[in-house]
Structure 1
Amino acid sequence: MTETNPQPNSVKKILPLILATAIFMQMLDSTILNTSLPSIAKDLNESPLNMQNAIISYVLTLAVFMPASGFLADRFGTKKVFIFSLVLFSLGSLFCSMSQNLTHLVISRVIQGVGGSLMTPVGKLALIKTFDKNELLKAMNFAIIPALIGPVLGPLVGGYMVDYLSWHWIFLINIPIGVLGIILGLKYMPNYKSTDVDFDLKGFLIFAAASLLLSISLELFGDMQNISPVLFVFILGFLFLYYYYRHARRGGNPIFPLDLFQVRTFRVGIVGNMATRLGISSVPLLLPLMIQIAYKQSAVTSGWIIAPMALTAIFGKSSVIKILDRYGYRQTLMVNTFIIGTLICLLAIPNIHTSLYWFVPIIAILGFFNSIQFTSMNTISIADLRNFQTSSGNSLISVNQQLAIGFGIAFGLIVLKLFENSDLIEGEMHNAFRYTFLTIGILTIISGFVFRRLHISDGKNMKSKED
């Protein structure tokens, strides 16, 4: 049985802000490092190619430990685990800034990853248990905005900090944000526990192995020289997933019960998240790369070009509730995915002589519809979960999103490399980017058909109360 006492209005007002703080810190940190790797490599006397380990170690740690977040929250309470995760993430950030070599940095990133793997899922779980279904959309809508702003501000802030301060500040910036989250969490975070807790250690190890292997394969896909070992790791990951399926079928108390997938809205939300993010996730990486490689512009310039995405995401946040109330989840998600895919295709139109400003309105509009997409997918996934399913369901959603973002980035890089080595680009690297945007845009449009599995009435219980 799970503790779900009604919370005072002060908690309901501050809790979305606490989750937003955690999401912003994690999303900023996961993107700010990309523009800073050459500077860090130079300072640590390492090759920039070897510095990928600093990114991979963090992603792998997230994938491995996220499945345990629901159990730990149920066992020790959402408040204690959330505060612990913020402390761990902040300490990891401090250790990163003090790193004297690559080994120190990788170990510090692992500490950060353990904190990050608990921070967002546990904060989100507290939000789900605090708000009624008809209030949850509005609360989740507010908290999800940092997930859109963080990846846009990351390269921009990272570029400025490296140019005008030093790379150490890209980690130190997390500490005041973490302290703010800890202070607010101590005062306002509810401490939900479950009296019925039984940890499925075997299932956790099997699923962690599957997540680890799939994460390694997607990192290798992004920088592949020989396809055979990559495919081997990829297939092995799916074999572990099948092994977990066999394990969960035997009953007991699996870490991710199979009855979650009997909930149609959860099933569609999980598959839709994975499918649509294949295209969406690669745009914030591919566009800055194109601006820097093809257009020969600076990292700061590329950061400014995609910055409008963060501003329009705020307008999307203010519109999504009205849109969902009027059109429902099925129509909104299908049409919205088609629009996003079309906008990605439009990024392929400008040639090398076109002004960079041509991209600004496309990116601005894309930010608006991305905001609607993420809020809608996140809320429909949990719309019909029962109280006893929320911990495991929320953890699985978090793992799925992490893997989906990673696969999306890797997929975009694979397509780019395929076109780079083809005869289609006629020696123009810019054309490789154009064909890549066209490919992932078309695939995003096709992925919208996943949401046809939703019923027109799905998500009606998520409609917000009138103000």
Structure 2
Amino acid sequence: MRPSMLTALIVATALFMENMDGTVISTSLPAIAHDLNQDPIVLKLALTSYMLTLAVFIPASGWIADRFGARTVFCSAIVVFTLGSILCGASTSLETLIAARVFQGLGGAMMVPVGRLVLLRSVEKSDLVDALAYLTVPALLGPVAGPPLGGFITTYFHWRWIFWINVPIGLLGVALSLRYVANLREEVVPRFDFKGFVLSGVGLLGLISGLSLIGRGMAPGLEVAAQIAVSLVLLGLYVRHAGLNEDAILDLRLLKIPTFFAGVAGGLIFRIGIGALPFLLPLLLQIGFGLTPFESGSMTFATALGAMAMKFTASTALRRFGFRRTLIVNAAVSGLFMASYALFTAGTPHWLIFLALLAGGFFRSLEFTALNALSYADIDPPRMSRATSFASVAQQMSGAIGVAVAAVCIQLIQVGFGDATLHSRDLSLSFVAVAVVSSLSMLVFIRLKPEAGDSLAARAPASEEATAAAE
């Protein structure tokens, strides 16, 4: 096996652990809420607290990797993430669970972005799509195994064990990394942008946590509005700071690159809707339809199976249709599948739900592969660490915002129907709302040039394709 592909598989260990952790906890949220005497909607804080930590600390990941070496940071991050998992399993209240998730997020903030940076610096751009496929196929085993495994453990044992399964995986990841991953670092590292780190970190933290606090009376409405307003001011100050500082921690000049802008901005919008699914699906199946965690997980893992199937055809699809056409059409198709989940009822055959989730995961995976590759199509090597940090922040923001948007939708629908408790229709209609949000990403992808990303997909120019067809 080529060294670059071996590196991809090792980095995938970290992705496997993080992705499985996320899907396992999503499946178990209703049971955790019951055990901790909390409203299931309030348990969204267990998801968003982790994502918030990632959004705050990921901007520093590129600089830290350049300064101390990618392998050193990557291994240390896996250790912190694993320790955080142990603390999550030992939590006895919502507060201690959130604190453990924040600590776990400190590891995740360095683990995945630095792992992706190692891969991007190890492969040629012409091999990037295939390398990402090698990276994501093992990583997708996490979402495949996570829902049924988490449901089985929660139903027949105890939800605390879902966090401790990360321990042997983390040890394996550290061992493989120390043996096979090069300790890449930059010769010249600019000074750390502490002012930018504070402005962007506090701004993002305040904004997303403010969105998460909307509704359910967790904080007075005036305080939440003030928090969001102050956060927007801080982010505005960061934009001004970044415009005057070449070493800004989040390089906003990257957004002037059309392919990077489309991958980050369009991906942010698309992922907001997708980020709501791990929150909405278990609630619909368990609270709305009365399924056990194991029954729920045995169906929701279909999305990951569909995603794995697409990884084997993503390169072919992108070479045949190009990035622009693929992203536009696939955003619409993915939105339709998400909206179709609103048609599920307690009487819908389980095999039909499984097939719908399978097909939806298939098309969403193609969108993710295209977005992940396109974002780095025109990034030169010296700016790669900043680009990976920026893109990773956007991805984590979208996930946290997606959960917050889903929760707000549920609450608004409950108010509209006058529901004092959670009903399946409150959850079903929320799928339509988040599907609309994801579909709006098409407005960003339409601005791409037809040849965008052709260097990655190894497509022939349009004139050459026409000539070949004529022959």
TM-score normalised to the size of structure 2? 0.89
Match of 2:269 in 1: 275
Displacement of 1:195 in angstroms is 2.0
Displacement of 1:180 in angstroms is 1.2
Match of 1:411 in 2: 405
- Structure 1 residues 51 and 360: CA distance shift in structure 2, 3 A: closer
Question: Does structure 1 residue 336 correspond to structure 2 residue 330?
Answer: yes
- Structure 1 residues 345 and 30: CA distance shift in structure 2, 3 A: closer
Question: Does structure 1 residue 362 correspond to structure 2 residue 356?
Answer: yes
Q: What is the rounded CA distance, in whole Å, between the counterparts of 1:28 and 1:222 in structure 2? A: 29
- Aligned residue type for 2:167: I
Match runs of 1:25-424 below 5 Å = 25-36=17-28, 46-49=36-39, 54-99=46-91, 105-145=97-137, 148-151=140-143, 153-197=145-189, 198-221=191-214, 223=216, 226-423=220-417
Aligned partners of 2:81 and 2:105 also within 8 Å: yes
Cα deviation 1:265-320 (Å, max 9, x = unaligned): 11111111111112222223222211222222222212122222121211100011
Question: Does structure 1 residue 16 correspond to structure 2 residue 25?
Answer: no
| Aligned length in residues | 456
* Secondary structure of the corresponding residue to residue 130 of structure 1: coil
Displacement of 1:95 in angstroms is 3.5
* Secondary structure of the corresponding residue to residue 375 of structure 2: helix
Q: What is the rounded CA distance, in whole Å, between the counterparts of 2:359 and 2:46 in structure 1? A: 33
- Structure 1 residues 354 and 40: CA distance shift in structure 2, 3 A: closer
5+ residue gaps in structure 1?
Answer: 1-8
Q: What is the rounded CA distance, in whole Å, between the counterparts of 2:266 and 2:154 in structure 1? A: 37
5+ residue gaps in structure 2?
Answer: 460-471
Cα RMSD, aligned residues only: 2.7
- Structure 1 residues 34 and 315: CA distance shift in structure 2, 3 A: closer
- Aligned residue type for 2:406: G
TM-score normalised to the size of structure 1? 0.90
Displacement of 1:149 in angstroms is 4.9
Q: What is the rounded CA distance, in whole Å, between the counterparts of 1:146 and 1:403 in structure 2? A: 24
- Structure 1 residues 434 and 91: CA distance shift in structure 2, 3 A: closer
Aligned partners of 2:208 and 2:400 also within 8 Å: yes
- Structure 1 residues 30 and 222: CA distance shift in structure 2, 3 A: farther
Aligned partners of 2:267 and 2:441 also within 8 Å: no
- For structure 1, which segment, 20-29 or 436-445, has the greater mean C-alpha deviation from structure 2 after superposition? 436-445
* Secondary structure of the corresponding residue to residue 383 of structure 1: coil
- Aligned residue type for 2:408: I
- Aligned residue type for 2:208: S
- Structure 1 residues 15 and 263: CA distance shift in structure 2, 3 A: same
Cα deviation 1:34-66 (Å, max 9, x = unaligned): 4445665777xx433586665454333222211
Match of 2:464 in 1: none
- For structure 1, which segment, 281-290 or 73-82, has the greater mean C-alpha deviation from structure 2 after superposition? 281-290
Displacement of 1:200 in angstroms is 0.7
Aligned partners of 1:134 and 1:464 also within 8 Å: yes
Q: What is the rounded CA distance, in whole Å, between the counterparts of 1:308 and 1:175 in structure 2? A: 25
- Structure 1 residues 85 and 261: CA distance shift in structure 2, 3 A: same
Aligned partners of 1:149 and 1:313 also within 8 Å: no
Q: What is the rounded CA distance, in whole Å, between the counterparts of 1:407 and 1:123 in structure 2? A: 24
- Aligned residue type for 2:108: G
* Secondary structure of the corresponding residue to residue 47 of structure 1: coil
- Aligned residue type for 1:229: E
Match of 1:3 in 2: none
- Structure 1 residues 324 and 202: CA distance shift in structure 2, 3 A: same
Q: Percent identity?
A: 36
Q: What is the rounded CA distance, in whole Å, between the counterparts of 1:360 and 1:153 in structure 2? A: 15
Match of 2:453 in 1: 459
Cα deviation 1:368-412 (Å, max 9, x = unaligned): 111101111111111111111111110011111001011112212
Cα deviation 1:11-35 (Å, max 9, x = unaligned): 2121111221111211222332344
Displacement of 1:428 in angstroms is 9.8
Aligned partners of 2:27 and 2:282 also within 8 Å: no
Q: What is the rounded CA distance, in whole Å, between the counterparts of 1:54 and 1:290 in structure 2? A: 18
- Aligned residue type for 1:228: L
- Aligned residue type for 2:121: K
Q: What is the rounded CA distance, in whole Å, between the counterparts of 1:361 and 1:263 in structure 2? A: 38
- Aligned residue type for 1:26: E
Aligned partners of 1:137 and 1:464 also within 8 Å: no
Aligned partners of 2:147 and 2:300 also within 8 Å: no
